[in-house]
Amino acid sequence: MSHLEDLLRRRGQERVLAPGEVLFQQGADSDGVYFVTSGWLGVYRDEQDGSYLLSIIAPGEMVGEMGASTGRPRAATVVASKETRVVYLSSEDFNRALRESPALAAEVIGSVGGRLTEADVMRIALGHSYRQAVDRVELLTGQAARLEELIRLREELAAMLVHDLRNPLGVISTGLEMLKQVQIPGEEGEYVASIVDTLNRSALRMQRLVDTLLDIARMEEERMALRPAPLSLRELVEERVEEERPLAARLCISLECSLPGDLPVVRADRYVIQRVLANLLDNALKFTPRGGRVTVTARPVGDVVEVAVADTGPGIPVEERERIFEKFTQLPGQGGDRRGVGLGLAFCRMAVEAHGGRVWVEDGPGGRGSRFVFTLPVATDRL
């Protein structure tokens, strides 16, 4: 975002917010964007029965870009969590920067998409609909009636995800694939292609989130049908690593794979274990700084094969190493691109344990970074 940073230096206006000070109010006219240089901002949705925290804006992030680019009123209230410094840029200057820099436009779209996804998950986990569901259950006096209502609420959520999220995402993905076929010459074509590519990645990321939510619900209810079969883990790991190499290159991270030639065949559901690997690799790349390294290894240990994904990121405190496998868990200090919705590792644990294996996290090699390890049983039959 060098184009934006240059513009902020030339045209930006610095402002210092006291703890609790409102930067802008939900429903107010959008007049520009704010780039956080220090401190933290809380984004709140105001509703009739109170305000709900949707996300945290950390140093290096922007807020207000959606309103500035669309001209719509502010969709939320933003408040300083502690003393915070921001740099203000008018809507006119911001939109000029978007027109002049396709890379900036693509990054802004990705940032807005990620924040909207996070806000939706926060609503499900903590928001108004959750409290309404609790009230419905509390009104019931019998234990059996409460259990029946809880099961029905879970089924309602699953149905909502299938019909209200998966179907529109399918339409969006199809439309984006069609747009990729349109040939537009010159700089305009490069601009459109970069936007379409960013939108496509966001749609795929949202699709994976929906699939993960559904699969977690199925596994909790023991309704997810695995299709285990003899599987060459070596081929699957190498295939997944190759697919992640372009992302690693963009992030300037070295991605290495070291597997023995005689790695035993395991018995597992290929699609499910592929997603476990994807989650662990995505996490490793997300938390590893530029110039760092992510390494995938595997080895036979008795009647199981042990697969490990190690990174040179900040590591995970010992006291948090069990909690991170719980749904919607985020570690303190995770911000910016490092913040997720807290579902990937929960899915990994459930999926691996459903195969009869286990998963854990430990210190990376030499005590640096993290090393996520999971095991799968060796197949007794052959490919």
Same domain for 300 and 202? Answer: no
What's the length of the chain?
383
- Structure tokens that stand for 199 in this block: 């939108």
Q: How far is CA 365 from CA 26, 298, 312, in A?
A: 48, 14, 9
Q: Domain limits at 189?
A: 127-220
Number of domains in the chain: 3
Give the separation between CA 341 and CA 329, rounded to whole angstroms: 8
Any domain includes 350: yes
User: What pLDDT is attached to residue 203?
Assistant: 79
- How many CB atoms sit inside 10 A of residue 135's CB? 9
The phi and psi torsions of 181 (rounded to 5 degrees) equal: -85, -15
216 and 233 assigned to the same domain: no
Query: What is the rounded CA–CA span in Å between residue 281 and residue 116?
Result: 23
Bridge partners (DSSP) listed for residue 295: 256, 310
- How is 196-239 classified by DSSP, letter by letter? HHHHHHHHHHHHHHHHHHHHHHHHHTT------EEE-HHHHHHH
Is 114 among the domain residues?
Answer: no
Average pLDDT in the chain: 79
Mark whether 262 and 357 lie in a shared domain: yes
Q: What is the pLDDT of residue 42?
A: 87
- Which pLDDT does position 14 carry in this prediction? 93
In a domain, 7, yes or no: yes
Whether 383 is in a domain gets the answer no
What number of CA atoms fall less than 13 Å from residue 197's CA on the CB side? 11
Cα separation, 272 vs 376, whole angstroms: 12
Q: Which of 159, 185, 220 is the last residue of a domain?
A: 220
The whole-number pLDDT of residue 1 equals 46
Helix (H) or strand (E) holding 194: helix 186-220
**Is the residue at 96 inside a domain?**
yes
Both tokens of 10, joined, read 């030339």
Which residues of the chain are modeled with pLDDT < 50? 1, 121, 124-128, 130, 335-339
Q: Is residue 283 within 8 Å of 211, Cβ to Cβ?
A: no
Strands 359-363 and 370-377: antiparallel
**CATH number, domain with residue 290:** 3.30.565.10
